Structure 1
Amino acid sequence: MAFEFDADAMFKQCALYLSKGLVLVRVHGIYPDGRCTCGRPDHAIGRSGERNVGKHPVGDDWGNRCATTEDHILEWLEDGIPFNVGCRLGPDGGVIDSEDDSVEARNYRKSIGMDGLETPTWTSGKSTHQLTKWDDRLADCKGTDTPGGLEVRIGAGNKAIQSVLPPSWHRTGVQYQWKPGFGIDEVDVAETPRPLLVALSNGAGRGAMRPTEGPASAMLFGEIPDGKRHRAILRWTWYKIVNQRNPLDRLQQEILTREVMLLSQHNCTPAADPDHVRQIIADCYEHYRRKVESGWRVGDEDFSDDSVVNEVTQIEQAAAADTAPKRPAAGSGFELYGLKKVVTSKTEAYEPGDWRIEMIHSDPPEIVLCVPAWEMTPCKGRIHMSLDTFRSAPKVAAAVFNATRLYILDGDAGKWQKIWKGHDACKGNGFKSIPGLMELLLQRKREEDDIEVGTSSLRYAQLAGYVLQVFRKATQPRNEENPEPNESGRPCWVAPEELWFQWGKIWEDISRSHDVAPGERNRIRSKLTEAMGCKDFVHRRHRFQSGRLEYVVFTKEWVEALEALAAGAGNNWTVKGDADGG
């Protein structure tokens, strides 16, 4: 069975790796249904982030939490969550990894005599990996490099880099496997061959153009073969950005995105993955934005191929070093947000692309707009809205901005209205109406994604959870000698055992991101007072220069009662299927 986690086999392999001196990294595994254990909705088989499934380490600080003993592996197994295993590369791990995933890379490996090298070798998907020893002459190299198309993960330059090992699962449903006769228990790790050392050392710290790359404009002419697509797309994207008058203008970004997406489909063989292309474009815009913020301005020297290659190298290094999910810059255009632009009868429109919706069957019902590109925002890419809000383009745009605190969809209100609601039949579109995102999202909604809130207690748990989220942002008094609550009414621990806040202000903050029906805040109030055996909350007043204000005061017992209410049925207020178990 694909993605079946065998804890015993994993422990034995990890113990073997440790005995051979490898430093191990816990990597997110894959659940039997194809979801990555990281929990991100887009990291699942068939979703936009499929390429990341089962490949990225657990935790942002994974480089400082590697396993060096069997006790560490036993700790990994305690939570029962499936995982893949990787090895730390570079000077700290003592090894580097060379991977071929193209004909060009395989030919280069053969040309330098590595195809017959006796060293631990394994396969993953369509690629072959070889471990060789770290060499101090690589200290000035980058984190990764690709001489001759061979992807070499070096781990130099204080970059935390790892490679996934057997018996981990690949997203294709195939396990990583040692090449027969070349397992780590069959052959020792070989020295890195001198030709590869020379190639890597010669490229250390430099952005020299690869002999076979040609100018950045090569993207426009002929076919870009597998193995060269990434660099070609990256170089052309950066070249276009620095040659624009105002690259951060939304219209300019949309035009460039559309152009690069088309070229990546028509001039690359095979066509490039659209999600990968969007990430390349986002990386380039992020690099440009950071340079501008540091005071840099485009000069004549930035138009040269050498300059383009140098900047591309920096972009690659930043991407290799940054394992955290990225978000598109504000105003970067609808396609980078995950929508798909289409042209119907000369009329531009958008299809959902990576966007989808979930229906929460609660009282009142809610719709959740799920946008993977916005997962790094406060709302985690999930925008809750009422049915009434969903039917209004301006209200949806307002809900998105309130939830993400970053993205404005209705900068051009007329355009957004048509994107969301669609185009009426007219001469320009052949007298045919074109559906908008609202209608298309409903058409593509899957019933299995709907969330059933079958009992009122689960709704109470949801609402209590909203309150706790606000409480977690509670501040401390500005003056410890004379502690005062926040005049704004937001939560403040005035004393170690006293949380002061205004009940209305709490719900005012909640309503910016969530739909709460009239009277629901009073139901929560009643549930809490019932749990505490009180008729009402404890109220106190405090005098400011502006006047006297009234506050609700919670002790830790009140907070614990709220936490108990939020826990609901095992803290699972959102359940797929029948909430009541029927």
Structure 2
Amino acid sequence: MAFEFDADAMFKSCALYLSKGLLLVRVHGIWPDGRCTCGRKEHAVGRSGERNCGKHPVGDDWASRVATTEDDIVEWLEDGIPFNVGCLLGPRGGVIDSEDDDEAARRYRKSIGMDLLETPTWLSGKSTHQLTLWDDRLSGCKGTANPGGLEVRIGAGNTSIQSVLPPSWHRSGVQYQWKPGFSLNDIEIARTPRSLLVALSNGAGSESSRPDEKPASSMLFGEIPDGHRHRAILRWSWFKIVNQLNPLNKTNQDITMREILLLNEQNCKPKADENHVRKIVSDCYDHYRKKKESGWVPSQADAESDAAEKEIDRIESSPEGSSKPAPGSGLELYGLKKITVGKIEAYEPGEWRIEMIHSDPPEIILCVPAWEATPCRGRIHMSFDTFRSAPKTAAAVFNATRTYILDGDAGKWQRTWKGQDASKATDHQSIPGLMELLMQKKREEDDIAVGTSSLRYAQLAGYVLQVFKKATQPRDEEKPEPNESGRPCWVTPDELWFQWGRVWEDIGRSHDVQAGERNRVRAKLLEAMGQRDFSHKRHRFQSGRLEFVVFTRDWVSALESLSAGEELDWTVKGGVDGGSTKTKNHSPSTVHDGEVVVA
């Protein structure tokens, strides 16, 4: 039932938050009929003050009465009045909260790399919240800010601000909940990313290396007169690029280019020529890329005003600017090297390379540094058949990166990957494709020898173990039962119940899995255990009877062996161990009969 207050669940959650160092705030709850416990008539679902329902703290001096011990929470529970719980933000609370509640804010979050940030994350209504650590560089900010539409609750400037946490109730009737695998019990609170810190400070730095110049962020506000446009655009472009998590990401480049073109339209009087603006941004990207190729590793110091202004001066004085391609002009944005043969544009591997896995079946890994921030971490696995096909390779890249489309111009990509025959346009020279050039570039020492198995099997087994690591235990130990959701649960100390398909659904949210790969892992496990099929059992819930795969610890050990590559010459790095946790099963049924299914 909506707005049902579970005192036990609330106490346990608060105890966890306190153990992580949060300062907790008692927030007015919501009665079952939709009224806020503050008692104000307008603070109720369906009334004019609905937005305040269940969101404002109890008492005017709430910031001075935060909970710091479990005894404080017990005291809150004594009056029997439902409540929500929040955490204090700002320098005293030690954390800030970033919330997106529309598509624009979500796009902005992605543009600065926060969609990939591993930090406690929860859902409230239609919004996603991320908790990150307070940074003293935010001291000059206000209580809240909205860069790119993202609402950031900072709590600076002597303001008292809190954010409501799970398991509180939202006025929509939906309970706040942690994103799976991203609760305070799962991961540590991350530092606030540099890209967000810069945005909250309205650009990188508040000073300039030239006495007569305003901060780079001045391009965001007011008019940029003729005579100042070029350098204003140049400075803001570099500050944007050097403060992004992954500036060479194609999506980030597109967003940055679009933003600067819009600023030129709105704030430059008169506006600069669009091609000139694109050229300036291109110079900045080219300078950044060359610095990276020379071995430079970006750091916080590079975002400081003095260091950034020196780089801007170097870009401005560079003699090579006139010949640089604009962002978006070709595949060189992904690290390929563009060449010209006769009148035809072609590409060489540049930063791309391949590794070959000598396995059964053999595999190829396409390695692209520019895609390291994607789910595949810049490593696209493919079969020989896929590698020999331009369309299949493009499909594999899109499936793995979930971002990059290489065959938007299918004909151009076919020629780029497979090569072109000699013709008048190529000065009668044949042009080898990337497929051939990558094979020529491949070094034998990069190849991976894995006998009759595959490194890919080990990776996939590791993914399964990562899911098993989060297995729950039954809430009722006297009448144990599996998770109705199909997620792993140690129903007994020696029996792990789960649904095979659900495990792979969870894996698919974070990793690219090709068709048939789950079946190959299954076949490897069956071979290792000498079985023809998994052991299956059924359990009846109120919603009906569900079938589960049941693993003993021997099966988990076999999976660990597959992940670690035992008796082989390679291993997979990373903490992927199995076992049970103390997490409770929050979706129990009320019927407890199990039936063994005879295979």
TM-score (norm 1): 0.42
TM-score (norm 2): 0.41
